Structure 1
Amino acid sequence: MKTQSPPATKVFRRVAVTALAAALLAGAVTPGMAAADSSVATPKAAAGQNRPELQKAMQAFVDAGFAGVQVRVHDQRGEWVGSAGVSKLGEAAKPPTNGRFWAGSVTKTFTATLVLQLVGEGKIGLDTPAADYLPKLGLDPRITVRMLLRHTSGLFNYAGGETYDDGTYMPGLPATGNEWLDNRFHSYKPEELVRFALSKRARFEPGTDQNYSNTNYTVALLLIEKVTGHSYAEEMKRRILRPLGLRGTVVPGNRTELPGPHAHGYYRYEEAGQWKTVDISRQNQSLLAGAGDMISTTQDLHTFISALNGGKLLPAPLLAEMRKPYGKLGYGFGLFVQDLGPNCGTVYQHNGSPPHGYGALMYSSPDGKKTLTASVTWVDEVTRGPAKDFLKLTDTLVKQVFCGGQAGSAD
């Protein structure tokens, strides 16, 4: 779980876990946010690089109602790191600048990279039916590996549900709201998630349309495990985490704790006429296996996306395939391709949000030398509030980094 251009508002909507989360972070500011300390942590930057424009863009999230935000920028001026707001409601400490967080759908970029490494080794064919590798699942034999990675399979999205073109709504597994809150420690197995999705009507015939579905990447997880004979977590460690030294990143499985320093996310709901706020830093993300379950840090996301776009993880032809935008989503393989407009260029990115309380940003220039990685926390509600200005705020921050501050322009 949940900024593309043109316009910049669309990509974050598309990375949401459910149809409801397609309006991720829309809504009024939660009243409980007013108590948050909005002061900004002293940034770490290259000598003499105070970067007030980045500090201002980061602080704007807190001013709009977010509990906390941490931002990391790498560019020609060096590294800039800062945080704003609070790590925990009611306390003065600011978010740790390299704290861990639930990374949500950023996970898909990692999963796609693993699949493409196996393609490069001749163990998987992009245009081979996924059913050839996973014959017992009952997948439509027309669905290829390429379709999974591009979200063109038509598979029902198990997390939250789907609204079909004829207006019919089909509920999925609890992924938002009070139902998710009560269910947030439930453990799911990847095959269980996929079988649930396959019990529902497909959104469309394979290859005929495009629809963002977490099911695609959970099938990709099963594919990785079948082809390698190892668990997804083991392959992630062996192929990406250890080689890149990503010590703050983990595939949690059924683990519910964020290890080490971290900012807290919250969920707010009404019960018997009383508003209650629950700390949801602990949650079981097995609901999004291979699609949105990873824990990471801004430093690790920078290292990963920089290495990926710098050609260190995939052969050049496969990286080119990964970064080729396709369909109405402008989606490659685990990456959105975003044109920021004149004088800004193209960025490759994936944002993410688990069901509630956390969000992550991961952006890179084509050569991997300029990156923006960030995490935000907030007090969430069933409407996904509080930050009605999230999309505008993200656009401003992204353009400060990649466009020299040309924020808010229409594309």
Structure 2
Amino acid sequence: MLRQKGPRIKDIVITPIAIVDPPLLNAAGLHAPYALRIILEIITDDQISGISEIPGTSDIEQALYEAKELLIGKDVFQLNQIRTVLTERFGSESPLARGETPWDQRKLVHIFSSVEVACMDIMGKVLGRPIVDLLGGKMRESVPFSAYLFYKYEGAGGEFGFNLNPNAEGWEAAKQKQAINPEEIVFQARAMCKEFGFKSIKLKGGVFEPRIEVDTILALFEEFGPSVPLRFDPNAIWALDTAIQYGKELEGVLEYLEDPVRGQENMAAVRKVLKTPLATNMCTTSFEEIPASIKIGSEDIILSDHHFWGGLKASITLSGICETFGRDLSMHSNSHLGISLAAMVHLGAALPKMPYALDTHYPWQSDEVILGGRIKFTEGSVAVPDEPGLGVELDKVALARLHQNYINCGLKKRNDEIEMQKKVPGWKFQSTRW
């Protein structure tokens, strides 16, 4: 017999954690020794538990406690009602109001995405179906991911920001090594692809002057050949002329060029000149920005992220919009653990089209918060879970340890500029550097 009413939220457990993160470089500076996440566990009145994971800050943690007071007693199946309640409390921040980082600093999408995933985990357990089935059904049995390369300083992250293991081998050893030139990045790529079987490669740039980074891409192309697609992300740090100059040099080398410049207008200007497709997770980052994107033609590929676009179902909506207006859709990543990865896999499996392997930072993380240890990659892909809900369960012992990391490390939000200043005194972020 079908239940007449859905399970209702009895409790929400909010646990900030800190996970070891290597000293990875990007246009905003340097990753801290720990990355912050928040684990959300929703428990129903009949003791069914659903989990989710989002990027963490003290502000988001506080907002989640405010949301908790609003959501106790709500039916987990009534996500439209839940979204309405949260929108009335937190409002919708416009891209303009978010300034230099329009893809970030939003409470509503972070909070709703965490609640939605946890509720869908519960729905799947109630119905005995994996989340992919709640998103329309499985289009593929496994979801491919791309190697994600970073320029970095020596070290593996963690206590004191160094934490080297002299006995490490393979990728674990390579993960510790410095990579600040083309040869060292090629070494990093070989080790990562060997360990995880990735069939495509992305380089995070915006760190060094363009000649060095373009030479790095050319070195990767020479090493792996045209059969391994390459993506390059200058992190929106280039001037328009710089993007056109080096974009032309890389034509025929790249699968796509991600955010070479800042803003939709500049992206559209580059797109008119280059043959290489342009991707973004920085200039078109919300549904409000899509009309302008379509009008001026700012990108070919939107790199979505269910944490930043308002959840899994919103991402399915985004997929339909992209198909309607001739855009492709792939996924952006941040420093994450297995709960986020599992959600990405369910979403990736449900997308009608997925022409590009997805991003993931997962190889760079050492910690895990799910039972059974870290999720396995086979030939660069992750099999879609068949178990009800997300298909992963919370490891309470690991959760307690990672929460203690959070308490001990003292970090309350990510600030790559401050971390970079510890290495390079006086270093300042510049929205356009070259």
Could you state the TM-score of these two structures normalised by the residue count of structure 2? 0.26
Higher relative contact order (CA 8 A, sep 6+): 1
Could you state the TM-score of these two structures normalised by the residue count of structure 1? 0.27
Is the radius of gyration larger for structure 1 or structure 2? 2
Which has a greater percent of helix?
A: 2
